[in-house]
Amino acid sequence: MTTDTKPKSASLTANGITIAGIAKGAGMIAPNMATMLSCVVTDAVIDAPLLQKALMEATGKSFNRVVIDGDMSTNDSLLLLASGRSGVTINEANYAMFVEMLTAVCENLARKIVRDGEGATRFITIHVTHAANAHDAREIANTIAISPLVKTAFYGGDANWGRIFMAAGRAGVLMDQTKASLWYDDLQLVQNGLPLNYDETRANQLAAQPEVTVTLDLGMGSADAIIWTCDLSHEYVSINGHYRT
């Protein structure tokens, strides 16, 4: 561990096999893993090409959905090792089951990385729905998650929905704000691009929770994307202002 404050591990046993993993990472984390080190192991019997395929699928739904600060380094590594000791063979018939288990372990580890982000006080889920396509959904969700203004607003417990729309609008993909609606958890703040007469006190209370989900409905299609991120605090600046390798 470097700036990690706690170790991160996860495991799952079912269907005659076990999958377990450990991970390290607290800063310089963005999709494509960035400065993250993780090793996942299983006792399943599985050929290397199928194992690689499973890892790529699981990573897309876990480690590549996390953002701490948007920065990345060059030493990220994710390893998946199979010993075969269980005697249970993974093939096309039970492949979906294996990927589901692997994804659950990887997602558990990925979420722990975000919760332990440098100086983090909030765990924030950015959920973009009804985008024109998967690429647009991912770009908008990722831009919101990386935005310093969005992240500092959450640190201050400020439900500043304008920050969300600002980030979505600069994501570099087509967006029609007159079709967009926004929620913080179950409280709707914006409908078709216009603010509703919502309870601002409750909105700020939701933004100040340890965990909050922001849902941005683009009203343009059927694609969606989820990114897990955290706030940007004074402590983050302090850690990185004094950090030397």
User: Catalytic residue numbers?
Assistant: 35
The answer to whether the beta carbons of residues 26 and 47 sit under 8 Å apart is no
Scan for tokens 């701490």, then name that residue.
Answer: 68
**CA dihedral (186, 183, 233, 28) positive or negative:** positive
CA dist 183 to 127, 138, 212, Å? 10, 18, 10
CA dist 229 to 48, 65, 159, 194, 195, Å? 32, 9, 16, 26, 24
Tell me which H or E stretch contains 150.
helix 148-155
Scan for tokens 């706690």, then name that residue.
Answer: 6
CB atoms within 10 A of CB 163: 19
Residue closest to 182 by CA, chosen among 139, 146, 152, 214: 214
Classify residue 168 by burial, with Cβ atoms within 10 Å: 0-12, 13-18, 19+. buried
